């Protein structure tokens, strides 16, 4: 099985003067779930090259077994430093697409035409699309062949308003993931802050927060095993 993982290229946390990027746990945990299961994983980003890591995801309190494994994985770090550009990707080469979160995707992948087109292509071919934490925002501007929001009527989750408030970034982010998914007509679901929670609706798999990343990847594998 071949899985495409798409990471943000955006490193500025709005006008705060702080840095952002992708959240390490949300990349590392799914990556190892996939590769430990024998999957081939290709990494891509809008700009190509090395995507930025959110420095907060490297703090001591954010560490997990997966992030510790990543810290000592020179091969993966080298692979991460040379991601493909999105316009080099052919959907037919992959069985599924997975988006790790972090705040970065709110600024670039949500609006990126190539990413949006990829999501639409994966959906049209009946291939799974998975995203965790802030990354379900990448679905907001994708449309069905009829022109409706791709999340319209879909049950999804993503980083909640209360979680954004808890990290003190409600006034910094360009929008709130929970609010925007609802605005597009999605059936948004959540559980208590920071608890693992994954929702599957057909070929859409979404996770609420960093704690949901490994479970989201495992759910994606389950779907692939059932369909390939």
Residue 154's pLDDT band, with cuts at 50, 70 and 90, is: very high
Residue 227's pLDDT band, with cuts at 50, 70 and 90, is: confident
Specify the CATH number for the domain of residue 141: 3.40.50.880
Query: Looking at the whole model, is its pTM more than 0.75?
Result: yes
Q: What is the pLDDT of residue 80?
A: 96
Range of the domain at 7: 2-227
Q: What is the pLDDT of residue 27?
A: 97
pLDDT over threshold 90, residue 228: no
The stretch 100-109 carries a mean pLDDT of 97
pLDDT over threshold 90, residue 116: yes
Nearest to 85 by CA among 117, 45, 55, 43: 45
pLDDT in tens, 81-95: 999 999 999 999 999
Q: What is the pLDDT of residue 53?
A: 96
pLDDT in tens, 175-206: 999 999 999 999 999 999 999 999 999 999 99
In the predicted model, what is the mean pLDDT of the chain? 96
Total domains in the chain come to 1
């Amino acid at each position: 099985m071949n899985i495409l993982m798409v990471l943000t290229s955006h490193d500025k946390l709005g006008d705060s003067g702080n840095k952002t990027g992708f959240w390490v746990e949300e990349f590392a945990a799914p990556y190892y779930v996939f590769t430990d299961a024998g999957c081939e994983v290709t990494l891509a980003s809008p700009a190509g090259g090395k995507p930025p890591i959110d420095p907060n995801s490297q703090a001591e309190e954010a560490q997990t077994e997966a992030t510790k494994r990543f810290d000592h994985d020179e091969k993966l770090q080298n692979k991460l430093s040379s991601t493909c550009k999105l316009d080099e990707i052919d959907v037919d080469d992959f069985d599924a697409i997975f988006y790790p979160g972090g705040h970065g995707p709110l600024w670039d992948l949500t609006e990126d035409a190539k990413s949006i087109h990829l999501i639409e292509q994966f959906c049209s071919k009946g291939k799974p699309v998975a995203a965790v934490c802030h990354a379900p925002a990448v679905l907001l501007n994708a449309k069905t062949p009829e022109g409706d929001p791709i999340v319209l009527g879909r049950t999804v989750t993503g980083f909640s308003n209360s979680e954004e408030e808890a990290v003190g970034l409600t006034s910094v982010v360009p929008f709130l993931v929970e609010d925007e998914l609802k605005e597009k007509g999605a059936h948004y679901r959540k559980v208590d802050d920071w608890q693992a929670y994954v929702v599957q609706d057909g070929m859409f798999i979404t996770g609420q927060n960093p704690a949901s990343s490994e479970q989201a990847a495992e759910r994606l594998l389950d779907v692939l095993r059932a369909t390939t």
